[in-house]
Amino acid sequence: MIRAFRDAGRPGAYLRIAEEGEVGAGDEVRLLGRPAHGLTVAEAAHVYHHDPARAARLLEAPELPADWRRWARERVATGD
């Protein structure tokens, strides 16, 4: 299932939990911030899975997990 979503370019959305609690239909959800780099989850997933030549783009996002940053640095260093 994960591979089908990846191949369809639908990696999903990732959210940070600011405060633990219950959420239900009709509850307010607010965007508290948006990173200046503009890298989307979809773009990061596309680079990682289909376009490693653009790995340097991932390094513009300091919020990216350490393992993805390591992967991107290795691609940039080797020119992959």
Number of domains forming the structure of the chain: 1
- Does 2 score more than 80 pLDDT? no
Cβ-Cβ contacts under 8 Å for 45 (sequence gap 6 or more):
6, 9, 11
Quick one: pLDDT at residue 18?
Answer: 75
Task: Report the C-alpha gap between 7 and 1 in whole angstroms.
Answer: 10
Q: Global pTM?
A: 0.69
What pLDDT does residue 14 have? Answer: 62
Q: Dig out the tokens for 30 from the structure.
A: 């607010």
12-28: per-residue pLDDT in tens? 666 677 789 998 999 99
Q: Which helix (H) or strand (E) holds 47?
A: helix 41-50
**3-class DSSP assignment, residue 50:** helix
Q: Which domain holds residue 67?
A: 2-78
Residues constituting the chain: 80
